[in-house]
Amino acid sequence: MRMSSLRQYHVISGRRVVATRRGPSAREVALDYLRAMGCKRDEIVYYGTDGVSWRGAVYRAEPVEPVEQPLELIELPPVSPR
Query: Where do the domains of the chain lie?
Result: 7-63
Contact present, 59 and 12 (Cβ < 8 Å)? yes
| pLDDT above 80: residue 82 | no
pTM of the model: 0.72
User: For 33-64, what is each residue's pLDDT tens digit?
Assistant: 999 999 999 999 998 888 999 999 999 999 99
Instruction: List phi, psi (to 5°) of 47.
Output: -125, 110
pLDDT single digits (tens) 6-40: 889 999 999 999 999 999 999 999 999 999 999 99
Q: Chain-wide mean pLDDT for the chain?
A: 86
H or E stretch including 2?
none
